[in-house]
Amino acid sequence: MKKLFVLGMGLCLVLAFSSCKSSESAYKKAYEKAKQNELAEAAKEQEAVVEAAPVVEAAPVVETAPAPVAPAPVREEKVELVSGDGLKAFSVVCGSFGVKANADGLKSTLDAEGYSAKVVYNAERNMYRVIVSSFDTREEAAAARDAFKAKYPNRQDFQGSWLLYRVY
């Protein structure tokens, strides 16, 4: 008797689940249809704008003198060399860390990219600075900083690179 009852319940369950149309809800179907209509309208509007756009002739190019570039700001700090070799008066700093291991990690990354990176320590601020390159003049350092930032346009941390003047 129990077997017959279980068999009957199983048959009822199979019939109940097989009669469902689909697992998608009507709301989801309506949303997708509205989204398709919205995309189609946007495409029509864009085509209308392209067709209605007037033809504009290019104006002649007039060369002007380049605007004077303001000197790059420089921070003055008393730092001591922790790792790396040869620190000059002006340096390009690409990272500042409170933990030495983090600074060493960035230095290793830069060394692998072909730079001769250095790590310096600022005792007043308790910060480790990672230096990409070091120069005798401010102009050379500013040019190197701009070139470094241009080489890595997608790295926001490198876009904040700045110049350091070493105070003794």
Q: What is the pLDDT along the chain (168 residues), one digit of tens a residue?
A: 788 778 788 777 776 666 655 555 777 777 788 878 877 777 777 665 555 555 556 666 666 555 454 566 899 999 999 988 889 999 999 999 999 999 999 999 999 999 999 999 999 999 999 999 999 999 999 999 999 999 999 999 999 999 999 998
Instruction: Tell me what pLDDT residue 127 has.
Output: 95
pLDDT at 10: 78
pLDDT of residue 52: 54
Query: Residue for token digits 């008393």?
Result: 78
Domain boundaries, the chain: 74-166
- Tokens at residue 154, please? 């997608």
Give residue 9's pLDDT.
81
* pLDDT for the residue numbered 94: 94
Distance CA 129, CA 127 (A): 6
Q: Which pLDDT score, from 0 to 100, does residue 134 have?
A: 95
Please give the structure tokens belonging to residue 136: 């005798």
Please work out, in degrees rounded to the nearest 5, the angle formed at the alpha carbon of residue 16 by the alpha carbons of 11 and 20: 145
User: Two tokens at 74?
Assistant: 């420089």
* pLDDT score, position 149: 94
2 three-class SS = helix
Beta strand pairing call for 162-166 and 74-77: parallel
Full-model pTM: 0.58
74-166 belongs to CATH 3.30.70.1070: yes
Using the structure block, give the residue that is written with the tokens 């105070």: 167
How many Cα neighbours within 13 Å face the side chain of 168?
3
Neighbours of 165 (CB within 10 A): 14
